[in-house]
């Protein structure tokens, strides 16, 4: 019985911690639209870093950028809409 109680308590603790991390991620990108960088500004930022930007769209409160990097590889990046920082990036090999 004690083992069941301990496992239940541990599970609830981990579940609530996961929810806290998820909500903090949402909070980072949940800025009002009037604070967002424009698509032109995002495009210029990535172009100045050597990317050939093909498409920029909004996805779940973030910018999703499709581009070609300096090595000719396709890049998909999720970008913070206010700061322009890359939150996640995937490259096709």
Residues near 60 by beta carbon (within 8 Å), at least 6 away in sequence: 29
Residue that wins the pLDDT comparison between 10 and 28: 28
Query: What pLDDT score was predicted for residue 1?
Result: 59
Q: Say how many C-beta atoms besides its own lie within 10 A of residue 90's C-beta.
A: 9
Query: What pLDDT score was predicted for residue 28?
Result: 56
Percent of the chain with pLDDT over 70: 69
pLDDT class for 44, splitting at 50, 70, 90?
very high
Residue 53 has pLDDT above 90, yes or no: yes
Strand, coil or helix: what is 9? helix
Take residue 85 and report the two structure tokens written for it. 């920082």
C-alpha distance from residue 61 to each of 10, 18, 29, 90 (Å): 32, 20, 6, 18
> Are the C-beta atoms of 51 and 67 separated by less than 8 Å?
yes
**Average pLDDT estimate for 83-92:** 94
Residue that wins the pLDDT comparison between 44 and 1: 44
């Amino acid at each position: 019985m004690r083992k069941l109680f301990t496992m239940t308590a541990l599970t609830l603790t981990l579940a609530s911690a996961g929810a806290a991390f998820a909500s903090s991620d949402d909070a980072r990108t949940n800025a009002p639209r009037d604070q967002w960088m424009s698509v032109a500004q995002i495009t210029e930022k990535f172009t100045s870093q050597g990317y050939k930007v093909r498409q920029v769209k909004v996805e779940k409160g973030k910018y999703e950028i499709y581009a070609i990097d300096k090595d000719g590889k396709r890049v998909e990046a999720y970008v913070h809409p206010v700061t322009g920082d890359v939150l996640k990036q995937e490259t096709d090999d």
